[in-house]
Amino acid sequence: MTEDGGHRGGQRIATADGAMLADPASLGNVAGIETLDDALAQSLFDPGFWAARGELSDVTRGRGSAWFISRAPHEWALRHYRRGGLIARLVADRYVWAGEERVRAFVEWRLLAALRRLELPVPQPVAARYRRHGLLYRCDLITLRISGAEPLSVRLAMAAVPAASWHELGKTVARLHAAGVDHADLNAHNLLLDEAGAVSVIDFDRGKIRAVGSRSATGLRCEAGSQGARGSAQAPAPASATAPAPDAGMRSASALQPAAWMARNIARLRRSLDKIAAELPVDRYGARQWRWLLDGYESALRL
């Protein structure tokens, strides 16, 4: 294994069948060994290695599954990249090689590092690696686990989330948007809440930073007041510059209208909440909670 020095904020380490990108400060002295050889570097991304050491603390299921690794003084979250949709039946975790700069784990590692420099509430990247096999590759990412935080979906399953937390969720999404951050899969599983109500955002696979550009001053309009009892909301629709006053079931805010990609993020989050609402008690999510989230979002965009 050879070290290639700095690589856009991380240290690139060549391995036998690919490469690893790491933050030496976050990586620390792994397993008490000062020098990472190829075998140990590969072991960092192997859940079995950590299980054998008694340091595999938890695991989440699904396409975005992660293993949690207990390493003093912090925990790590290890995620193996997997495909979704119909193509997953053919190639569950392999991607077409298009050059190292486009390796999904490396792209996400660099994006997280950039967002951390902007002081946005995202996890600290620790290490990423890919293993290439001809025209295909597999990849993995390790980040610091955000202590004491749980997905919004989990919180909603346990108890009602207070209005202040819904406001904070909206403000956090607005902070990302104000910085031009386009989250490709913003949903109730990728927004985390801790006990103090602080919000973090995870899983930036396929995310990117866009130019924010100019915005219309017509405001954001949504059908929050026209939902059914279970909060079957529709995606927010921007009001036109000549639109009449909203009907009784509509509301218009003085916030600046989001760009199209921002509206897509919000619509994706809304669909996610609507989906999980079907399995929740009626007081957990509905029109009122969505309005609270939008209040926070719009208030932050006014700043």
Q: Where are the domains of the chain?
A: 2-144, 150-302
- Taking the CA atoms of residue 192, residue 196, residue 198 and residue 204 in that order, the dihedral angle to the nearest 10 degrees is -20
CA 10 – CA 273 distance, rounded (Å): 36
- CB-based contacts of 185, cutoff 8 Å, min separation 6: 203, 205, 206, 268
What's the predicted TM-score (pTM) here? 0.83
Residues assigned a catalytic role: 185
pLDDT at 41: 81
At residue 23, does pLDDT exceed 90?
no
Question: pLDDT tens digit string along 122-165?
Answer: 999 999 999 999 999 999 999 999 999 999 999 999 999 999 99
In tens, the pLDDT along 241-263 reads: 333 333 333 233 334 456 899 99
Q: What is the pLDDT of residue 96?
A: 96
DSSP alpha helix (H) spans, the chain: 24-27, 38-43, 47-52, 104-117, 152-158, 163-178, 260-277, 287-302
